[in-house]
């Protein structure tokens, strides 16, 4: 299972209930953190994501609301004695930002920190999970991220297993999880013989800050979950265009056209208070839309089902 934890769902100015942008994805002992808005360290702690986890940080762009929390997070990890190395990926300006933070505010870390200047393409891989960056249309260089979860084994077919003389039990389990087995008479049975073809990979897409654009549309095509910024409602479509953002309606349209299964709207302006206007605009266009809030979690299972847990559910 993959767990998505929203650590910050606000845009530009944090409010009492909504922190600056930061989204954590947990998978197989890893924490992948997307953006690190101001005070992400306390959100990270409240969400109990763990100090010494295998971790990578992916920054969409170097606007302040997405990176102000990075030095604080590194400081916290150091004061608490983190030892595992930490890789940070993002636009090239990030290297200078971290370097200056380290040299001017005495931010030495107890662990190895490496900042990688990246462009579009695959940048991270662990087992069957990979992260790909794509360029979006904001102000200055900005990236979105696609998290791809490959599924190597299709649905197990018991009738086929019986037909081939495989006895029910541990051998079925092994075949269902993609292994080959050997029967007592020496016959080798491959997982492919008793499973459906591998289904398409699962996909989570994070837009970062962007106007609706072709690259985002391409990445979002068929996505299980699209986490898209919705800084404005259509009333302020002119501001969205001018400042390189998306409206809720535009995000919903993009989700509809890209055949997305679930749209999560985030990074909305504090002018919308509780975000009712934002989600109210999206749902008539794309009914499977939800509004992110801080500490909301989404569980994505390998069969593609997604369960949304509000902060009070856990
Ligand atoms: Zn922003
Ligand atoms: Zn921005």
Residue 115 has pLDDT above 90, yes or no: yes
Q: What is the mean pLDDT of residues 12-35?
A: 96
Taking only the tens place, the pLDDT of each residue in 174-220 is 999 889 999 999 999 999 999 999 889 999 999 999 999 999 999 99
Give the whole-angstrom CA distance, residue 267 versus residue 12: 8
Residue 37 has pLDDT above 80, yes or no: yes
**CATH architecture of the domain formed by 2-151+199-313:** 4-Layer Sandwich (3.60)
pTM for the full predicted model: 0.91
At CA 145, angle to CA 143 and CA 148, rounded to 5?
160
For residue 240, how far is its CA from the centre of ligand 2 (angstroms)?
11
| Known catalytic membership, residue 193 | no
Taking only the tens place, the pLDDT of each residue in 226-251 is 999 999 999 999 999 999 999 999 99
Q: What is the mean pLDDT of residues 11-16?
A: 91
Of 65, 259, 274, 294, which one is the catalytic site residue?
65
For residue 229, how far is its CA from the centre of ligand 1 (angstroms)?
8
Q: Which of 309, 2, 47, 293 is nearest to 147 (CA)?
A: 2
For residue 14, how far is its CA from the centre of ligand 1 (angstroms)?
11
Write down the pLDDT at residue 312: 73
Domain with CATH 3.60.15.10 in the chain: 2-151+199-313
Write down the pLDDT at residue 313: 57
For residue 197, how far is its CA from the centre of ligand 1 (angstroms)?
41
Write down the pLDDT at residue 283: 98
For residue 238, how far is its CA from the centre of ligand 2 (angstroms)?
16
For residue 128, how far is its CA from the centre of ligand 2 (angstroms)?
31
Q: Which residues surround ligand 1, an ion (CB under 5 A)?
A: 65, 209
Length of the chain: 314
Binning pLDDT at 50, 70 and 90, where does residue 154 land? confident
Q: Which tokens in the block code for residue 296?
A: 């909301």
Residue 41 has pLDDT above 70, yes or no: yes
Ligand index nearest the alpha carbon of residue 91: 2
Ligand index nearest the alpha carbon of residue 244: 2
3-state secondary structure the chain: CEEEEEEECECCCCCCCCCCCEEEEEECCEEEEECCCCCHHHHHHHCCCCCCCEEEEECCCCCHHHHCCHHHHHHHHHHCCCCCCEEEEECCHHHHHHHHHHHHCCCCCCCCEEEEECCCEEEEEECCEEEEEEECEECECCEEEEEEECCCCCCECHHHHHHCCCCCCHHHHHHHCCCCEECCCCCEECHHHHECCCCCCEEEEECCCCECCHHHHHHHCCCCEEEEECCECHHHHHHHHHHCCCEHHHHHHHHHHCCCCEEEEECECHHHCCCHHHHHHHCCCCCCEEECCCCCEEEECCCCCEEEECHHHC
- The mean pLDDT of the chain is 95
Residue the block writes with tokens 């994805």: 25
Ligand index nearest the alpha carbon of residue 63: 2
Ligand index nearest the alpha carbon of residue 12: 1
Q: Are 4 and 33 in contact (CB under 8 A)?
A: no
At CA 19, angle to CA 14 and CA 24, rounded to 5?
150
Q: Which residue has the higher pLDDT, 273 or 259?
A: 259
């Amino acid at each position: 299972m993959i767990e998505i934890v929203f650590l910050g769902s606000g845009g530009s100015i944090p409010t009492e209930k909504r922190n600056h942008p930061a989204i954590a994805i947990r998978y197989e002992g890893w924490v992948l953190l997307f953006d690190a808005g101001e005070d992400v360290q306390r959100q990270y702690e409240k969400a109990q994501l763990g100090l010494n986890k295998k971790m990578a940080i992916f920054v969409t762009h170097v606007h302040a609301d997405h990176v102000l929390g990075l030095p604080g997070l590194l400081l916290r990890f150091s004061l608490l004695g983190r030892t595992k190395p930490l890789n940070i990926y993002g636009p090239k300006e990030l290297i200078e930002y971290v370097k200056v933070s380290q040299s001017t505010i005495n931010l030495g870390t107890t662990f190895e920190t490496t900042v990688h200047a990246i462009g579009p393409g695959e940048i991270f891989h662990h087992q069957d999970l990979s992260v790909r960056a794509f360029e979006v249309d904001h102000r200055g260089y900005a990236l979105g991220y696609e998290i791809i979860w490959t599924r190597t084994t299709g649905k197990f077919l018991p009738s086929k297993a019986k037909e081939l003389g495989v006895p029910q039990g541990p051998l079925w389990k092994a075949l269902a999880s993609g292994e080959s087995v050997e029967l007592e008479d020496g016959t080798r049975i491959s997982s492919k013989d008793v499973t459906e073809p591998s289904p398409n990979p699962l996909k989570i897409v994070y837009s970062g800050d962007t106007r609706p654009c072709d690259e985002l549309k391409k990445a979002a095509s068929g996505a299980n979950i699209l986490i898209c910024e919705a800084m404005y409602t259509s009333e302020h479509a002119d501001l969205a265009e001018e400042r390189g953002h998306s409206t809720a309606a535009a995000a919903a349209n993009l989700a509809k056209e890209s055949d997305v299964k679930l749209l999560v709207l985030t990074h909305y302006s504090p002018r919308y208070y509780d975000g009712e206007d934002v989600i109210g605009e999206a749902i008539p266009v794309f009914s499977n839309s939800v509004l992110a809030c801080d500490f909301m979690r989404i569980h994505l299972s390998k069969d593609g089902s997604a369960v949304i847990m509000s902060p009070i559910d856990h």
